[in-house]
Amino acid sequence: MHVSQPESSPSANSSFPRLASVAFTLPSLLALSLLACSGGSSDAPVVTFTDATPAVPDASNIAYDAAPCPDMVCDGLCVDTTSDPLNCGACGAMCASAGQICTGSTPCECPADFVPSEIGGGGFDQVQAQSGVLIAFTAVFSSTLDVTAVVYDLTLELDTEYDLADGIGTLSAPAAAAGYDFDISTYTAHTAYGATAGTIVFDNICADGASGTMTNVTFSEVAALTNPAPAEGGCTMSYDSLSFNIGMCPDNASAAGPGSGK
């Protein structure tokens, strides 16, 4: 006898792995034998009901496609309703946004503010050139791996105040972003944020890094770090002041571009 288990749910964005759960039942079997006999002088068929007791198979003969799941089956998928943002506490009970965290019941919770007041310099800084801009980002390891990034280019003026809201819509310079619970295998964050309000001032920029300050910054949840479309009902974080020093530039900014004025 072969019993198939419900499939495990695939990961959602992002990042949202669902665990499997299932309980199966063995139906009661009623064997009906219809025997046509011509015994004696009667031509009428004889109907015999055999063993109306539910048949219980030998468990040692049951083959499983997968280990039984300890949680709940939702739409044929095995999910852990204590952590699944699509089925939080019950099947179909969704968190308000994909970036929220399921803690076993709705309403779900937003991640605690995780951007450090001093960004960078921890040994995990990197600068990458993408689509005509430079992205300086750094990682912070706590219970999760969190990242913060500053988008800039070498034409920006030093000691000049820029509005962060101007760049986030197209990820053009200058802009800032952050990601909570970053998955290095997929390069996605459980919760992605873009700086939708606030100002940024650079005191140094070069091809290998950037430093400066951000003031009155609001990070709002977006669809993804690479897709800054606002998430409806998403999470937000607000900071009065943040300083950043990501990567490494000469102290006199002599390696900076035209915006350095040096």
**pLDDT for res 97:** 92
pLDDT digits (tens, 9 = 90+) for 131-168: 899 999 999 998 999 999 999 999 999 999 999 999 99
pLDDT digits (tens, 9 = 90+) for 182-236: 998 988 899 999 999 999 999 999 999 999 999 999 999 998 878 888 898 999 9
**pLDDT for res 65:** 54
**pLDDT for res 66:** 58
**pLDDT for res 169:** 86
In the predicted structure, residue 40 carries a pLDDT above the cut 70 = no
**pLDDT for res 58:** 52
In the predicted structure, residue 6 carries a pLDDT above the cut 80 = no
CA distance 24 to 222: 40
**pLDDT for res 187:** 85
**pLDDT for res 82:** 92
In the predicted structure, residue 253 carries a pLDDT above the cut 60 = no
- CA-wise closest residue to 172 among 161, 164, 182: 164
Task: Give first-to-last CA distance, the chain, whole Å.
Answer: 79
In the predicted structure, residue 255 carries a pLDDT above the cut 80 = no
**pLDDT for res 64:** 45
Residue with more model confidence, 127 or 6: 127
**pLDDT for res 153:** 97
Hey, CA dihedral for 127, 140, 12, 21, is it positive or negative? positive
**pLDDT for res 206:** 97
pLDDT digits (tens, 9 = 90+) for 84-123: 989 999 999 999 998 999 999 889 999 999 999 999 988 8
Q: Return the structure tokens found at 235.
A: 């999470």
In the predicted structure, residue 50 carries a pLDDT above the cut 90 = no
Question: 196 near 206, Cβ under 8 Å?
Answer: no
Claim: this prediction has a pTM higher than 0.95: no
Confidence of residue 76 (pLDDT cuts 50, 70, 90): confident
| Other CB atoms within 10 Å distance of the CB of residue 240 | 10
In the predicted structure, residue 237 carries a pLDDT above the cut 70 = yes
